[in-house]
Structure formats: C-alpha cells, structure tokens
Chain A
Amino acid sequence: GAGVSQTPSNKVTEKGKYVELRCDPISGHTALYWYRQSLGQGPEFLIYFQGTGAADDSGLPNDRFFAVRPEGSVSTLKIQRTERGDSAVYLCASSLLDGGAAGELFFGEGSRLTVL
C-alpha cells in the first residue's frame, strides 16, 4: 500500500519481556518519527530519524527504549524489560521534508502494546 504500515497492530506481552515494533514508511520519505499515545492523551514524541541517523531521541523515556533505521527506510522500535506502564499505542509517522520545514506527517494506524 501507499501509506505508513505498522506491525503488529496489536501486541500483548508479559512484564519483563522484549518487544519489537516495526514501521514501514511511505517510499521516499526521509524523515521518520515514533510517538507514543496513551488513552485520552495526544501523541508524545519519542524519536525522529533523518535518513539512517537519529536526529533527535530526546523523547525516549529511558534506556530500555531503542530505535533503529539501518537502511533509511524501515524502522524498528525496541523495548527491553517491558513494564506495565509501557502499555500504549505506538505511532509511526513519516514525512517528505525534514524537521526544519512545515512538512505534513503521515501516520500509520499504530501498534497497540499491552503489557500484562
């Protein structure tokens, strides 16, 4: 498809387990973003890639969270030793323009993570 694709759409895991969430952006979009959205709140910034490098990772809550984008396209958000407080919808977005311009963000439908 032409949009941002996120997998899995739903993930249920147990406390302490490792989780990977995948994002496939729109072809040709150089900027990729990860956000986290808790119930009743707006998306919260986690990390932003320009190409292969993380341009801004200031939103990652702690060192259990890590994201990669090795070839400048698909990105994986990795969460180690999951905690119940990590339960949320993880949103990925991509953009044709970099952070300095008013580029529109194109969002995927999100990966809902539930940590039991």
Chain B
Amino acid sequence: DAGVIQSPRHEVTEMGQEVTLRCKPISGHDYLFWYRQTMMRGLELLIYFNNNVPIDDSGMPEDRFSAKMPNASFSTLKIQPSEPRDSAVYFCASSPDSPYGYTFGSGTRLTVV
C-alpha cells in the first residue's frame, strides 16, 4: 500500500483565495482524520470521519473551514476565504479502527500571504 497520500505537498496562496487540500486514505481504513500543526499550538485535530460520515468537527476553527468525504478513498479540506493565520502544515491520517494505530500522510504545507 502507498500509505496515506496528500496533495499538494506545498501550497502558497493569497489571502482571500479558496484553498483545497486533498487526502487519499489507506484502503480499508474506516477512519480519516484531519490535523493541523503549528509552532504555537502543536498538532490539533480538526475533524474526523468514520465510514465517510463526519463524526466530530469540534476542532474546525471557523466556518471558513469545511471538510468532505464523498467516498471511502477521498477527502478534502477546504478553506474559504483563506487568511494568513491559516498558514500551517495540514496532515491527514487514517486508521482501520480504534484501538489500532494511525498512519499519517506527509502533510500539506500551506502558506497564505
């Protein structure tokens, strides 16, 4: 298996633009997670899905953030409009089931200027 695949690896955009981050989980994993990592706040869970259904989005910072999982092999995290404070590394992770381990993607480094 190729692991969790995220795209793009790097994204630079101007404030106010829409940004879409993409994730392909490991086949057969029922859980998908979106995390954000910053120097100030470390790794924070934004939202997670189980069998394509959003379960907990309490970590989504604002209405500007939205996430979808239209099928078992694809998820998106969208920021509209983007702001400089959204600059961070966004990670996607998948898991077959709790209490088993999680596998993380390589992350998308987002810079909003």
B is bound to A: no
State the B residues within 8 Å of A (CB): none
Identify the A interface with B (CB < 8 A): none
